[in-house]
Amino acid sequence: MSRCKGCDAVLLSDEIALHRKLFGLGEQRYLCLDCQAAYLNTTRQRLEQVILQYHRRGNCVLFTKWE
């Protein structure tokens, strides 16, 4: 189980997928959505929308398909 390197929260697969999108595949440790938002100086809601967009497009292998 992966944990956020900022606040130690348990990470969801979507949070890891977004982190890999935004910060690249080289990172071995990830940030949760709240910490990513803080780091990027944006809001959690904004990042949730980005995740939603990737899911809707459905062409990114990092994001597991929603049924």
Q: Which stretch binds Zn ion (CB under 5 A): 2-10, 14-22, 39-47, 58-66?
A: 2-10
Query: Interface residues for Zn ion in 21-50 (CB under 5 A)?
Result: 32, 35
Q: In the bound complex, what is the minimum distance in angstroms from residue 6's beta carbon to Zn ion?
A: 4
Nearer to Zn ion, 12 or 60 (CB): 12
3-state per-residue secondary structure call for 2-67: CECCCCCCECCHHHHHHHHHHHCCCCCCCCCHHHHHHHHCCCHHHHHHHHHHHHHHCCCCCCCCCC
- Contacts to Zn ion by CB under 5 A: 4, 6-7, 9, 32, 35
